[in-house]
Every structure is written in C-alpha cells, then in structure tokens.
Structure 1
Amino acid sequence: MDDNKRSYSRRDIVKTLATVPVLGAFAYALLKKTDYQKQHSFNMADELGLKLYDDPEPASISNGQTIRLGIIGAGGRGRYLLEAAGFAHPNTLKHWYEQAQLNSSDTRYGDFIEQDDLNIEIRGVCDIFDVNAKEALLSCSNQEKSTELNEVSSKVKRYTDYRDLLAAADIDAVIIATPDHWHAQMGIDAAKAGKHIYIEKGLTRTIEEAFALRKAVKESGVVFQLGHQGRQTASFKKAKQLVDKNVLGKISLIEVCTNRNDPNGAWVYPIHPDANEQTIDWQQFIEPTNNHPFSAERFFRWRCWWDYGTGLAGDLLTHEYDAINQVMQLGIPHSAVASGGIYFYKDGREVPDVFQAVFEYPERDLTFMYSASLANDHYRGKVLMGHDATMKMENVLEVYPDNRSTQYRKQLDAGLISPDKPMITYQPGKNSLDGYSSATEQYFASRGLLYTHVKGKRVNTAHLHIKEWLNGIRSNKQPSCDIHQAFEEAVTAHMATIAYRENRKVYWDADKEQLI
C-alpha cells in the first residue's frame, strides 16, 4: 500500500472517537446501536424467511406466435400504452434523445430502447379524433424505434368504427384506452368477437356495466387484464410478503390518499387546436350516454362529467384500492360512505375536486379510508396500521414499529428499535437492507407508478403489465389483474360514487351480489 494512503478500520474509527470527550462516548454508542440495528434487520428478515432484496427475475417472453394487436383509443393514455408496448412516435423518440443529451438524468430514451421486444405487431388503430389516429398510425409503424420514420406501414390500418376493428381477422387482441363510458360495450363486443382484452381502469362507468362485462369475459374465455400496472411494482409485492408474515400484527386501519394541485391533475387537459366537428366523430363519442351538443371541452376533459366517468372514484381511488387489494385481498367492502364537493375548480364540472370515502370490512375488523384533493399537492401516501407496526407502502417501503407493540416489546424496551425510525426499509433496485432510512433515501422515494426495478434495472410498470397479459395469451393463463380482480375494483369504486351522489350509506350483499 502507498505510504501516503491508509486504510482505516472500524477499530481506528472507534479509537479516534474515543479521544473526543463526551462526543466520543456518544458517537461510539451511536455506532454500536446502528451496527445492532443493521444486524437486527437482517436477522428479522431471516427469521421471517424473507429475502427482501431478491429482486424478481425478469419475465421472459413466452414462446409462441407473434400477437397481432389493435388499439382502440389512441389519445393520451393510449399513446402511453403504445410506448409501453414498444411503439413510439418518431418525434417523441427524437425529443427523448435530445433531452438525454442535455441531461444525463433524463433516461426516457434509454429506458425505452432497452425495453424487451414483446413479439407483437400493431395491425389496427381506431380513434374518432383524426389527429390522434394519424399520429398513432405512424407510431404503430415504428417497429424499429426510428427517429426518422415518416411512412405508415401497409400492415397498419385505421378504423373509424371500433366494431370494424373487432371484426378484422388479422387482429388477435385489443388494447382499449377510451373514456370510461365506452369501456363496457367495447369490452363486451371484444369478448364476443374472441379478442383478448387489455382495458384501462376504471373498469366501467356504472355498476350494471361491470356485471355485464364480467359475464361476457367469463363466457368467452378470453385473456383479460385491467390496466392497474401497480400490480408489477416490486415494493407492493414485498409488502404482501411482510403482511403475510404478520410483521404488522393485526391491521385495523388503512389510509390511502391522492393529492394533486395543477390543472392537468384536475383533468383540465389541453384542447387540441385542430379539434372540431369535422375532425371528431362526436355522435360516436356520445353514443353510449346522453345526447349533448358538440363540446371540445367535454371530449378532452371528459372525467369532469358524470356522463363519461366517475371522477376521482373511477380514476385515482381505483389505483389506491388495487394496490391495497393485491396486498391484503380485501375484496368488495361491506359498506361505503362518501363526501366531498366542488371546492376549487368552479369550471362547470359535475364531479367533486375534493372527495373522501370510507369502506368497512367488519369480517376483517378493518376500515379502509380514501381521501383526495385536486387543489393541494401535499403528499400523503398509503399507510397500513397494525397493532405492532405501521407500513408506509410506496415505491420505497418502510415499516415502523409501534410504541405499544406486543410483538416487538423486548426490542423496544431495550432501545434496539424505535418508533421514529423504520426497522425495515425496502428500496427497489438496492442490494442491501438497512435498519434505518437516511434523508437521501427518503428524498428519492418514488411517488408514482411509472417505474419499478427488476434485477436493479428500472423498468416501465405498464410495459411489464402488458407483457404479463401477452404471456397469458400465449399460455392461456389469466394475468394478475383479471376480470375477477377488475370486478372487485369496479364495485368498490361504484359504491363510493353512489354513496356520494345519493348521499347515503351503501351496502354490498355478498351472497346476492347486489347493492342495498
């Protein structure tokens, strides 16, 4: 070793600290306690039979034929799903590439290029807005991920009516990313046509539609996936392991929240300058619901009206519920109450911009609470409260011991764990387990569902969700968010909507499968 360099051991550090009066003794005690906390965390994981950092193996593409897809609804969400499936517009790719050159932390281009080839072809595009359809045709032709492509492939056809797309012999499966008021009928028609279905959340606009869609899917036998890509989030899968091992003790209260504070978050989406009665098939748009004169505002900001969706319940609540449902298998609640109102966005909308719902599960001795504001950005995450510990369930998972815990009483009394520090932290993509969480780790905790980690690699969760669905088609196996999970999501959300709109407590009769 170079004489000018020296390797400092733990013993050297302890000796140095010990020479500093008072501070040395305190620092030594802190170092010893931290060592024990780390040791305790590892022992706890071993004792529970958990390998918290056994990152899931990347799902391979199932052997089999190339699957030919059609997409119905190629606007904002449809565009995103096309990208997740491996088809991006050349201009989008060019923009991502240019931004990566300017900012090394912008990894959108690299992440997209490294996505697995899902062995699919897009054969059909249906959108009733000409601009969306034109852009999607070029995206769906971009099999080679080019930034220069300017010609539409002869294999990709535009349909102006989704029924014609479903009748096409060269389409095996469909992605449905339309507004909610079209989900049920399109899903039913797709099932009857024998097309496998990936449909965006919320499942349906009404509870009656949820029953009808479930019936059609079950009778057809098609492979069905609801678009809750949180099913692929690594930390949620780890959360289930911890809950199954009773790390939290008896769970009696769950709180989930979603706050957003900008027009886009409140569904005030931009209105395209080329949107008019000549470029939008308005009559087809309003076909499943009430007649209304042409309105570009309603076309682009449809979530703000009951005719087309269910507001916060069908949008953001469903994400939060499905995340908990995959961990806890809650199913449909026994009852629901809801409240809220239009407190900030006085823009003619009908759905509330502040909304809260409380769901009761008496057979589980558990309450599930949802709360949201579209006019405040204060972050509040998913929290599972047990007798022995509390779990903050985000992309970074943290478990805090409860000060009155029975299970961890000895460790708490000995000062080995503390209620103000997580005793277990799981950060996807990290290869070690800490008994504490630094400010830096907390700062980088992800808020959304855009990415997870597989073997240390950042991956788009929607890409993984579509891959799971495609693998299910090839193996004739239903994926994680099948029609049964989708039905539970739909009924739960509709209970909250009905409770709010009718100002009453809504009950679910599980035996008769009906609301009362």
Structure 2
Amino acid sequence: MKKNNSRRSFLKKATLGSAALTATPYVMGSPRNEKLELSRNYESISYEANDQINLGLIGSGIQGIYDTTAALKVNGVKLVAACDLYDGRHTRAKELWGDDIFTTRDYRELLNRDDIDAVIVATPDHWHKRITIDALKAGKAVYCEKPMVQRFDEGQEIIKAQAASGTICQVGSQGMSSLGNEKAKQLYEEGAIGEIVMLDMYNDRYSAEGAWQYPIPPDANPDTVDFDTFLGRAPKVPYEPKRFFRWRNYRDYGTGVAGDLFVHAFSTLNHVISSNGPNRALATGGLRYWNDGRDVPDVTITLYDYPKTDTHAAFNAVFRINFIAGGGGGGGFKLIGTEGEMEVGQNSVKLTRSKLGMVPGGYSMVAYTEATQGKIRESYAKKNLETRASKLNTGTTTWEAPRDYKGAHYDHFYNFFQAVRGKGPVIQDPTFGLRAAGAALLANESYFQGKPVNWNPTVMKLIEG
C-alpha cells in the first residue's frame, strides 16, 4: 500500500509539468528531455591539531593509495602511518605524504600505536577478516575495502567483532555514498519506475591493466617483498611476484571479478531498493584471453533471482563482465521497471518513462478484414487504455552532479569520518557489507560448482543441497 501511495504521489507531481519540476526537482514533469543539478551540503568545520583523526593505512597498494588520497581531502584527517609488505611502497608512501609518516611491514605495529584513531584496510581479500577484527579489538575505527570478506563464513565474525567493540566499521564500496545513489533511492521510493522487473549491469574492459596485469617493479625480490606473510592462510608456494602484485588473478587471495566488481553493483542495488539481496544465482563464463596463469575467468555472466519483499517485487538481475571487449571499454547499471527505467552512476541518474502501448497496431491487425479492424479499433477506443495523462508522464530527466562535486569516494570517507566523530551512522556497516559480498560470492560458488546456488539473504547463509 505504501508503494502504491508513493507511485500515486509521483504521478501527481509529474503531471504538474516543468514549472513544478523546478520547484520539486525529484520528479520528472513533461514528455521531453530535462536536465537538473544534484547538490549536497557538507559540514564546514576547521579542526585543531588535537581534534584531528589520525589515520593508519594497512595495504599501501593501488587501492590503498586512492583510498588515502580521498580520505585526506576530508577536513581534520591526518595520515600518520602506512603498512605494506613491499618495501618500495614504504618509499612511495613517504613521497606522497611526507617523510615523517611511520612505515612498517607489520600491521600490528599500527594497531599498537595510541596515536592512531582509524585504519584503512586495503590488503588482498584473504587478509580482510583477520586485520579488520584485530583492528576492532584494538579500538580502531575501520574502513575495510570491499569485498568485506573472501569467504561466506567470515562475515558473521566481523559483525560480532564490531558489535562487541562498539567501534565504527565502514565497508569501502565507495560509490555507496554518491549523489547518484542518493537520488536513485529517492526516485525509486517515489515510484518513478513502478515495480522493478530487472537490473542490468555490465562492465567492459579492453586493456591489460584493466584485466589486472599490473606492472611488477624491477626491484621486487624475496628481500624486498615479504611473500611468506602475504600468503597468510593461503597454500604455501615458492616466491612468485605475479601472485603478490597481481593477486586479484588468483582464488587463493582474491575473489575474481565478482568480488572486485559485482560487489559495487550489489551495494548500490540493495541500497536503492532497500533489499537484503538475491536468493539464487547461476553463473557461466570462462578464461577466454588472459591466459597468464590466473585461475579465475575473464568473461562472466551471472543471473540472479531477487525474491518479493515489502520494498520490491520479485525480479531478475543480470551481471556481465568482459575483460576482452573488442569494442572498447564501458559500463552500465540500469534499473528497469514496469513504468520506467533509471541509469544510475556515481555522478548522475537518468530517468526515462515511456508510454506502454496497449492498443494494437498494424502488425497484429493485418490478419483481419478491414471491417473487423474497424470494430477492433472501436472496441479499444471505448476502453480508453491510453489516456492523455499517461502521455504527459513520459520523457527523460537527467540529474547530474555539478562540476565542483567532491566525488563519491570523498563522500564515502566523509560519511565514515562523520560517524567516527559521533555524527551519525555509516552508510555501509558490516551487515550490509556481508549482504553485498555474499551476493557477489554466489557467482563464484555457482561458476566453480557448475550449478545454481541458493542463499538466504536475511540470515546471510548459503543454502546447501
């Protein structure tokens, strides 16, 4: 009933036309293209040195550097220490953030420091659980990169550790706090696309770098890389720099394209429609091109079933990844409903509403005599299935972030540090993080088992059998 009321509210506002659109920018008003600007207000406070949040970085690789760069743009945050198992990254950290920062190979040295308030965990996936729990037990606020876990059973341990510690834990799907997500959620709850019937997500890449063939530094060797510590709980193997610097290519350390890319989409989808996630997955694909020793596919297609809930109808989702897309790169995320569709990005939302054709046209009428066609047209006209109001509620509206928008990555860290300061909850806590990661891991489970798999999104457990 609530959803129906929201839909009626949306349609009522939409029929008011462009004048109302200016005053009420969260609805689309007329059958033509409209462009509107998104906005967000940030708290403006200058912090003294003794009021700043001291940050430690654990895992100073590619994502760790991007995370820290975004984090340090938030007022009142200072990096004091960085940890990595490759010595060259210690030097790089000092190049980026100053010679005075503390560097180490041992993350526990960061956790033992009294001057560190929060840590970023940007390690390979198989280290996320242990370091996150250790950090929470040490009383540090944690920003853990997605996916929160490498295995299904690890999530509950993090949830319990966070609850026991009472400390902030944010999962790092950086698009979660974006203006695009915020607007898409608002539009969906207003009934802008009617009932959702499908989600279409795809990510095309056409480069070695995009396929995780990252460069290996010439000074990498067993002395400059702590390979044994990197392995952790993974099977013991001789030193191999590709495994260290291109760890995403291996199941022992990463989670494949599902954990790296699907999890972003699940975070956005579950947030926008207020869902706990899917209950079934069927994956296929293969290693089509990048035969570089990796043991995860570079082309995948996964079909997901979402069950009916109080916030959405039953629907299907399609997740497609292609690391050898000859047409070039690109990506998309589109929610398709019974009355419209939304293309959602971090910086924009494009809403399209079309008129549903209910009256037969020339294709189906061709089999009848002219006299019969006339009677059919007369019969449909009496039903008044295509009203003037339905035509007014069509068109395209695009909401875009302004040029000076600080960005989704900034917003996610802004949310994190606001929570650390006691000014509201994080937008992606460990429970939410497990639901996003669990849904993504279903793709791997199905792919490697060669069959559909089932998941209970409420209790967040794999259903065996």
TM-score (norm 1): 0.74
| Residue of structure 1 equivalent to 2:71 | 85
Aligned residue for 2:406, secondary structure, equals strand
| Residue of structure 1 equivalent to 2:248 | 303
| Residue of structure 2 equivalent to 1:461 | 408
State the shift of 1:283 in Å.
0.7
| Residue of structure 2 equivalent to 1:237 | 182
Paired residues of 2:435 and 2:457 also in contact (CA < 8 A): no
Paired residues of 1:257 and 1:320 also in contact (CA < 8 A): no
CA distance in 2, matches of 1:164, 1:428: 41
**Would you say 1:57 and 2:41 are equivalent positions?**
yes
Paired residues of 2:149 and 2:434 also in contact (CA < 8 A): no
Rate the CA distance shift 1:121–1:380 in 2: closer, same or farther, 3 A: closer
Aligned residue for 2:288, secondary structure, equals coil
Report the AA paired with residue 322 of structure 2: S
State the shift of 1:284 in Å.
0.5
Paired residues of 1:403 and 1:412 also in contact (CA < 8 A): no
Higher relative contact order structure (alpha carbons within 8 Å, sequence separation ≥ 6): 2
Spell out, residue by residue over 1:290-346, the C-alpha distance to the aligned partner (whole angstroms, 9 max, x if none). Answer: 111111111111111100111100001111121222211222311111111101111
State the shift of 1:228 in Å.
1.4
Moved over 6 A (4+): none
Rate the CA distance shift 1:378–1:411 in 2: closer, same or farther, 3 A: farther
State the shift of 1:411 in Å.
4.7
Paired residues of 1:225 and 1:480 also in contact (CA < 8 A): yes
Aligned residue for 2:421, secondary structure, equals helix
TM-score (norm 2): 0.82
CA distance in 1, matches of 2:274, 2:450: 28
State the shift of 1:266 in Å.
0.5
CA distance in 2, matches of 1:316, 1:161: 29
State the shift of 1:235 in Å.
2.1
| Residue of structure 2 equivalent to 1:72 | 58
Paired residues of 1:62 and 1:475 also in contact (CA < 8 A): no
Paired residues of 1:41 and 1:424 also in contact (CA < 8 A): no
Aligned residue for 1:139, secondary structure, equals helix
CA distance in 1, matches of 2:252, 2:335: 34
Aligned with residue 515 of structure 1, among 444, 462, 465: 462
| Residue of structure 2 equivalent to 1:502 | 449
Paired residues of 1:387 and 1:402 also in contact (CA < 8 A): no
Rate the CA distance shift 1:230–1:139 in 2: closer, same or farther, 3 A: same
Paired residues of 1:223 and 1:476 also in contact (CA < 8 A): no
State the shift of 1:251 in Å.
0.9
CA distance in 1, matches of 2:26, 2:77: 39
Paired residues of 1:204 and 1:210 also in contact (CA < 8 A): yes
CA distance in 2, matches of 1:336, 1:218: 30
CA distance in 2, matches of 1:85, 1:47: 33
Rate the CA distance shift 1:59–1:323 in 2: closer, same or farther, 3 A: farther
Q: Percent identity?
A: 31
Rate the CA distance shift 1:409–1:57 in 2: closer, same or farther, 3 A: farther
Rate the CA distance shift 1:413–1:218 in 2: closer, same or farther, 3 A: closer
| Residue of structure 2 equivalent to 1:388 | 339
1:151-170 paired onto structure 2 within 5 Å: 152-153=99-100, 156-170=101-115
Paired residues of 1:223 and 1:477 also in contact (CA < 8 A): no
Paired residues of 2:26 and 2:187 also in contact (CA < 8 A): no
Unpaired runs of 5+ in structure 2? 1-13, 29-35, 359-384
Count of aligned pairs: 408
